[in-house]
Amino acid sequence: MKVLLDLQYLNVATTGIKTYMMELAQAALDFPHPEIEWIFSHDPKSQAADQTFKNPESKFQRLNYHLDYFRWKEFQLPDLVKKVQPDILICPDFVSPAASLPCKRLTVIHDAFFWQMPQNYPLWWRKYFLSLIRKGLKEDTKIITTTEYSKQALIKYLGNSLPIDVIYQSPKSISKEVDQLLIKKYSLDRTPYFLHVGTFDKRKNLPLLVEAFEAFLKSQEEAFKLVLAGGPGQSVQMNDYPLIERLILEKGLEDRVILPGYISDAQIRSLYQHAFAYVFPSENEGFGIPILEAMREGIPVIHSDQEALMEVSGSAGIAFKTGDLSDLAEKMILLGREKAFREELVKKGLQRSKEFSPQHFIEAFQHLILNAAPRI
């Protein structure tokens, strides 16, 4: 079987989708199957490093990117399919070409956010992108998604005329390199801290975490800190960063809440290694990679009871009622007081994280690819 993996979107992909694409490509190389030949549309590392369209500073730059993306999906990718003649095309970024193709398609739709949370996206862009998604769902297409929760959400909005399979992904492979710069700068080796890594999108509900942290501090004699690593939300509608800054000032938490911005993988790993606990208060997720990353590093996890997060964490994390400030604060207090409970969560998390390995990830794709030989 000849499989073409579309990696063009890596030139702008961030967070979850970038991790998905990079881990899938690397797992295909690390765990080859004798009956599958992988062809990458782009070299993963060089495409991910391309800065041409990253962080556009004007509407003109954003328009140029959208035109480039459209040209790729609707003209260049179909031409590449004709050239290499794959049996299967995998598009891991929601969109497959609208053109008819002489091969089967596996299109990854990670979540249903575009349908569930329209208020978080510019109206014109959302309509345009949803149109691209729908036009590519044709012919011999199978949809791949990340959790059973996402599958049921997609069935609600797309119907069940196309088959949808769930494949659990693996978390980001973090380099063994460790950069202690932030640990030393903020004296985090001497102060216990709660951690969150990711963008400040509204659905992440980080203002709730800041307020719960304030309530937690009032119950503690020991000085704790909160580290919120990552950059602003991906659009004005989605961005909670300014609100977080205001909350910190209003509550007098300037010395307690740390906003280091975007940081390197080596710095992320050092934060994981020293953290007291990881907190993930998100209102909506398609998967929840940070839960597994934290568990893999031996950190107990507190997360909202959102369905995808419950599915991924199993019973290895502490769940609080989504959006409930007092419940989140209580769970943080519980973790601070119960040392044995914390140690039990660490053991459960380490075991749970092993179930989401790169090998399991690619084997699920290999099974699907080989079974697609007769038909999808």
Task: Give residue-wise pLDDT tens across range 104-134.
Answer: 999 999 999 999 989 888 888 899 999 999 9
Residue 176 lies in a domain: no
CA nearest to 204, candidates 228, 182, 236, 172: 228
Mark residue 34 as left, alpha or beta (left: phi above 0; alpha: psi -120 to 50; beta: remaining).
alpha
In a domain, 149, yes or no: yes
Residue 281 token pair = 């208060």
Answer yes or no: are the C-beta atoms of 290 and 280 closer than 8 Å. Answer: yes
* Co-location of 338 and 363 in the same domain: no
Do the beta carbons of residue 253 and residue 275 sit within 8 Å?
no
Pairing of strands 88-91, 37-40: unpaired
Same domain, 125 and 185: no
Residue 209 and residue 162 share a domain = no
Tell me if 112 is assigned to some domain.
yes
Same domain, 228 and 331: yes
What integer pLDDT is reported at residue 373 of this predicted model? 55
Claim to verify: residue 136 and residue 233 sit in the same structural domain: no
Residue 201 lies in a domain: yes
Q: Are residues 98 and 212 in the same domain?
A: no
CATH of the domain at 83: 3.40.50.2000
Beta bridge partners of 183: none
Both tokens of residue 89? Answer: 């095309």
Are 144 and 99 found together in one domain?
Answer: yes
What residue numbers bound the domain in which 108 lies?
2-169+357-371
Picking from 111, 96, 129, the residue whose alpha carbon sits closest to that of residue 16 is: 111
pTM, whole model, 2 decimals?
A: 0.91
Indicate whether 174 belongs to any domain: no
> Are 43 and 145 in a shared domain?
yes
The percent of residues above 70 in pLDDT, for the chain, comes to: 98
Whole-number Å distance between alpha carbons of 143 and 159: 12
Indicate the number of domains in the chain: 2
Over its C-alpha atoms, the chain yields an Rg (Å, rounded) of 21
Residues of the chain with pLDDT under 70: 56-57, 234, 373-376
Residues 221 and 89 reside in one and the same domain: no
Amino acid 330 reads E
pLDDT at 43: 97
Task: Report yes or no on 376 lying in a domain.
Answer: no
Same structural domain, 204 and 118: no
- Closest listed residue to residue 101, CA positions, set 88, 113, 112, 91: 88
pLDDT for the residue numbered 207: 97
Q: In whole angstroms, give the CA distance from residue 338 to residue 169.
A: 32
Same domain, 96 and 226: no
Q: Are residues 85 and 216 in the same domain?
A: no
- pLDDT for 52 equals 84
Q: Is residue 323 situated within a structural domain?
A: yes
- Residues comprising the chain, all counted: 376
